[in-house]
Structure 1
Amino acid sequence: MLAVLFPKKNQDKDSRVGADFCKIARSFVSFRSDTQPQSRTVLSQPAPRRASARTMQKGQQTRAAILDAALGLASNMGLEGLSIGALAEVTGMSKSGVFAHFGSREELQISVIKEYHAKFEEEVFFPAIREARGLPRVRALFENWVKRVAVEIDSGCIYISGAVEFDDRPGPVRDALAGMVKAWQAAMERAIRLAIETGHLRTDTDPSQMLFEVHGLILALHHDARFLRHPGAVERARSGFARIVRDYAASPESAEATLSPLAPRAAHR
């Protein structure tokens, strides 16, 4: 993955960014237990292997299509709304066809959680990691997070809805969901720690506390925008983030340089 994000010709230029990526993303990539190393190609008996590869590719495409439909259902109906039968109806497949790809409703739910997490990485985490470490990266993570929630106003966030569904229900589905959320929080907290190390935030900043406050803004945004349909919820979330940054910033200059034009001083009263 690093080879794709940081080509060799830019390796010296991006070496520090690559190191930061390793530190912050470790919890993300390590939790993706469904990612396995590719086996070595065997050159003997090429014709059967080509046929097998075609069959595997078709199977992967079918599974991806089913997962996409399942993700849409889960976003609107919750993880508990997922079933082999409902998914078969939506995709136009037989129940046995869907079952062959997942085996059980529980496996289907866990696969949807992993798929959601992968999309979250692509839209929120990976673009932000290319920003300079420190407050610029923390801001990018928050902004991308806000944009993700704003898009999900009409569908719902599986991290948030899933927490409501499985907060008191132990088992593999809850473990998978909690693990993904913890991995994201660890990445966000690591970015805050780097902002302390770069001198953008005060040395006495408690990363866990700042993360708690930022996460609280996202939960409030989701609640007010989706449930109450309050206008201006996104602007309020950004204003709250600006207040948090100014409270923890090592200097007014570092705060304003990071926030402008996200939240002008007038928004902070």
Structure 2
Amino acid sequence: MARATGAVILTLALTGCTAAATASQKKTIVVGVKSDQPGLGLLEGGSHKGFEVDVGTYIARRLGATRVTFQTVTSEDRERQLGAGRVDLVLASYSITAERATKVTFGGPYYVAHQDIMIRRNEQGIRSVRDLRGRRMCEASGSVSTQRVTRGLGITPRLVPSPSYSDCFKKLLAGQVDAVSTGDLVLAGFAARAQDRVRITNTPFTDERYGVGLRKGDVEGCERVNKAITQMYQDGTASRLLRKWFGPAGLQLTESVPEFEGCS
């Protein structure tokens, strides 16, 4: 009898752990977003605003949340915040990579951005990624965009370390770097605030599949996130939000459902 009782307790405990780890079973969902990326996730006046904030809200509501709150995350601490349970979902220009997929479960992608280059408007010597060789390029901490240039393409810019892309943007305006390279949605958000002081070269050279980060092993939550993303594109919400936040930047926006990675 004691063994049977113990087995029941163990089963209940395991069941409780599984439920607690599944974002789709929570009534209050905390979404991790950036606080310093205009257009995607920006903290202004005490509130987070941007495309990823709106998409995170849509997904959380489709999962059944009656309350959605937001927590600032950075490129360096996204995995830690998910693992510690401080956030349930992460939408923070979080490119899906094989290495990151060993630490978190990815839903989506909810958008496939394209890595591009932002330069000062009067810069004439940089027309494509090949022209970054020997030039000062900002390297944002925790981002994989720099590796796509250096390891992926074998191009060797002079890297200037920076804690974030907002700091990279400031360095670009101040003339401390010659270029910033990352996903075009990130660049477009900053460019929209620069009053014609910068421009995007519009020479994309890779894809960045922005995924929804969940705690590792939350397959149920991942599958429901993918259903929510599909519905978001089918009901026109995705198109409306993309045009709202990035239409003025003149980017070629993709308004069809992205091909999902699969939940595992």
TM range (shorter): under 0.3
Structure showing greater relative contact order (alpha-carbon pairs closer than 8 Å, 6 or more residues apart): 2
More strand by share: 2
More helix by share: 1
Larger C-alpha radius of gyration, 1 or 2? 1
Q: What's the TM-score, normalizing by structure 2?
A: 0.28
Q: What's the TM-score, normalizing by structure 1?
A: 0.28
